[in-house]
Structure 1
Amino acid sequence: MTEHLDWVNRYAAGEHERVWHELRQLGSRVREPAFAPEAQAVCDEMARRARTNIETLVARLREQGYRFHRNDDDQTPTEPYTPPGPKAEEHLHWLEQRVGHLPMVLSSWIRIVGDVWLVGTHPQWPSSAAADPLVLELEGSRYPDSDIRKYFAHEIEQWQEDKDAPFLLPVAPDQCHKDNVSGGGPYGILLPDASADAHFVGEVGMPLVSYLNWVFQYGGFPRPTDDDAQWDVTYELAANLHRL
């Protein structure tokens, strides 16, 4: 299986799709000693690139006059991004103890990226919240006065009553709730999962890295419309973002 190694250098050289294909093909075998260190290193590099993309998007949106706010009637101002807190590793282990293996990309995201919430209003594009802005909240670092683990624990307790189905870890409101209108259930990630990449469940299911690449392709707002203003904004936002 030596043909699968050197993932980190190949990933850095631009073989993103091929490397992710090989990692996904291994499934839970990616945890074997021959593969795990390289696989985790790729996931960590993915997370560093994603963090850079998020920081770039937040800065660009601020420059454009974007108002970051909650998905409530008052549009309460909020911070769009918070890096991992000092208890990120503890939070990671807390989840593993309750649901089993977490995908390697999830471990990387919790340790390296943090929480992102791009819901808001753009001055040139008032309907931006309807475009399904990127939200991923895994650690709860945006909420220093509350503990996201209470929310997760409640969801886990309900799942444990009937373990016939995988657990869907809720990580974001759906497209409608982001726009403060009634919708469906939250977006989430299926657990337990010992693979490298995670399975993200939104309007459709797909690998988490594929979802993130789709989101960054559209500057953080992956639901394009026929609004010319949206296309102009997202084109500028997406310029030169890292491919994961």
Structure 2
Amino acid sequence: MTSSPRWLSRYQQGQREQVWQELRQLGGAAREPESAQEAQLVCDEMARRARQNIEAIVDRLSSDGYRFHANDDEQTPLQPHTPPTVNAAAYVDWLEQRFGAVPMTLSSWVRIVGDVWLVGTHPAWSSSASADPLVIELEATRYPAGQSPRRYIEDEWADWNERQAEYPDNGVFVLPVAPDRFHKDNVSGGEPYGFVLPDGCVDGLFSWETTMPFVSYLNWVFSEGGFPWPSGDDDQWQVRHRLVQNLLPL
């Protein structure tokens, strides 16, 4: 394949922004045979770098005595990072069967990164949960079998299609993968964060309080140590300074 060394080698050499721009400009054409394999390799490399960042953040928070917990009154302890299961690739296949196309960056995240939940409380930063800690749960392995994410997604997709039939300007469907920043802090908030689907592009659109490419969202979050929203607490910046050390740009 003539393009085989082009995007991946340039990405690894540091031309990340240029590579993402080129891949985004291709749109769905990136899935053509001459481009698809190389484009997916770039997304996989991105996911490996993201996982390294997440593992570093989790290790640093754990060393600080951070309590990872649910966003409820009980503050039930939770695992901050669950690696992909043996069913990860099958889950991506199911998403593609259901929606027709999912972004390559989403596929790479499911297969390589897994589920991430950074909500919790820092001993030196009591308002950490209000700083929009990173959460991306796609496989959603922490939920009991009776609360399968597939069932929830099926219901959300059916509801959206019903509304779309009645109101064609209903808007895009968003695959929910995280509570919004208010719900993360256990207060009423807005709609969940998630991916706009269907989407056959390399880097999907991530919907939170605005909509932006997923990799751009991740780079912003990692540039803030996993806690991108100002919490109004001066201690945030002291904690963040250590969390961001040597994190990898995507």
How high is the TM-score relative to the length of structure 2? 0.93
Equivalenced residues, count: 243
Q: What SS is found at the alignment partner of 1:34? A: helix
2:127, 2:231 within 8 Å by CA — same for their partners in 1? no
1:154 matched to which residue of 2?
155
Paired residues for 1:120-199 under 5 Å: 120-143=120-143, 145=145, 146-161=147-162, 162=164, 164=168, 165-199=171-205
1:5 Cα deviation from its structure 2 partner: 6.3
2:3, 2:34 within 8 Å by CA — same for their partners in 1? no
2:214 matched to which residue of 1?
208
1:125, 1:229 within 8 Å by CA — same for their partners in 2? yes
1:135 Cα deviation from its structure 2 partner: 0.2
How high is the TM-score relative to the length of structure 1? 0.96
1:226 Cα deviation from its structure 2 partner: 4.7
Paired residues for 1:25-64 under 5 Å: 25-64=25-64
2:53, 2:248 within 8 Å by CA — same for their partners in 1? yes
Rounded to whole Å, the distance in 2 between the matches of 1:134 and 1:241 is 15
- Shifted more, 84-93 versus 177-186: the winner is 84-93
**After the TM superposition, which segments of 4 or more aligned residues of structure 1 sit over 6 Å from their partners?**
2-5
Instruction: Note the alpha carbon deviations across 1:15-45, whole angstroms, 9 max, x for none.
Output: 1111000000100010111211111000000
- Structure 1 vs Structure 2 CA RMSD: 1.5
Paired residues for 1:100-115 under 5 Å: 100-115=100-115
1:183 Cα deviation from its structure 2 partner: 0.5
1:100 Cα deviation from its structure 2 partner: 1.2
1:96, 1:102 within 8 Å by CA — same for their partners in 2? yes
Rounded to whole Å, the distance in 2 between the matches of 1:115 and 1:135 is 8
1:4, 1:22 within 8 Å by CA — same for their partners in 2? no
Q: Which of 223, 227, 235 does residue 229 from structure 1 map onto?
A: 235
Distance 1:176 1:202, change over 3 A: same
